[in-house]
């Protein structure tokens, strides 16, 4: 990483550490970070040289990033090598990550819960367990429907919606304060 600026190195190293928390290994996280901040598409040799990784590790990492749909494969005129770049718009990356997480984690869970709810309970414990599973299924299904709606929004609308969340939270906080003052006054009158 000697050919990279200290700022870029810090970003890449951080992404490598975070990768393990996100379900990818350190190498893949660092590769993605490099592709994300690079001002141009990079080939596998560029990536290997920049990060001091073996060519085989880079090849495996690129396959994983392609499976996650986080990099695009490009061919440059007059060059037989394959080049890679991350999507240009951060919202495209965000949506892709959410879609992949949903496909890999949420959909199998929904499928398992559907199957479990179709089973005939053998006793009170099973009935209770199925009820809890139904609650989980309903919440996941509701959030999936919401996610589908959000996916259709423009990035500008998403930003507005997210900013509105902070305003709504502030209104809730003010409402809680008013409610607490009202309850406090009502409690004082009752005690008199």
Terminal-to-terminal C-alpha distance of the chain: 73
CB 82 within 8 A of CB 44: yes
Instruction: Say what the pLDDT of residue 176 is.
Output: 78
Q: Is the pLDDT of residue 66 over 80?
A: yes
Residue with tokens 């609650």: 135
The predicted structure's pLDDT at residue 42: 97
Q: Are residues 33 and 11 in contact, defined by beta-carbon separation less than 8 angstroms?
A: yes
**Structure tokens belonging to residue 146:** 């919401």
Query: What residue spans define the domains of the chain?
Result: 6-85, 90-186
5-64 per-position pLDDT tens digit: 999 999 999 999 988 787 789 999 999 999 999 989 999 999 999 999 999 999 999 999
* 6-85 CATH, one of 3.30.1330.40, 3.40.640.10, 3.40.50.300, 1.10.10.10: 1.10.10.10
According to the model, what pLDDT value does residue 97 have?
84
Q: Where are the beta strands (DSSP E) in the chain?
A: 42-43, 72-75, 82-85
Closest CA to 151 of 91, 90, 95: 95
pLDDT band at 71 (very low <50, low <70, confident <90, very high): very high
* Model pLDDT for residues 139-173, shown as the tens digit of each residue: 999 998 888 888 888 888 888 877 887 777 777 77
Core vs surface per residue 99-124: b (16+ CB within 10 A) or e? eeebeeebeeebeebeebeeeeeeee
Reported confidence tier of residue 190, pLDDT bands at 50, 70, 90: low
């Amino acid at each position: 990483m000697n050919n990279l600026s200290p700022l870029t190195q810090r970003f890449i190293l951080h992404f490598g550490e975070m990768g393990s928390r996100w379900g990818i290994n350190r190498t893949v996280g660092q590769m993605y970070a490099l592709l994300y901040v690079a001002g141009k598409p990079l080939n596998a040799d560029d990536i290997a040289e920049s990060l001091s990784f073996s060519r085989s590790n880079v090849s495996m990492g690129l396959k994983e990033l392609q499976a996650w749909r986080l990099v695009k494969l490009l061919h440059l005129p007059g060059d037989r090598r394959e080049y890679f770049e991350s999507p240009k718009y951060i919202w495209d990356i965000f949506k892709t990550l959410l879609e992949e997480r949903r496909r890999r984690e949420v959909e199998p869970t929904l499928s398992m819960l559907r199957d479990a709810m179709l089973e005939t309970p053998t006793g009170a414990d099973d009935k209770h367990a199925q009820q809890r599973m139904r609650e989980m299924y309903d919440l996941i299904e509701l959030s999936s429907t919401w996610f589908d709606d959000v996916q259709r929004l423009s990035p500008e609308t998403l930003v507005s919606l997210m900013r509105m969340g902070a305003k709504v939270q502030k209104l809730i906080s003010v409402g809680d304060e008013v409610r607490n003052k009202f309850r406090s006054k009502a409690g004082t009158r009752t005690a008199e």
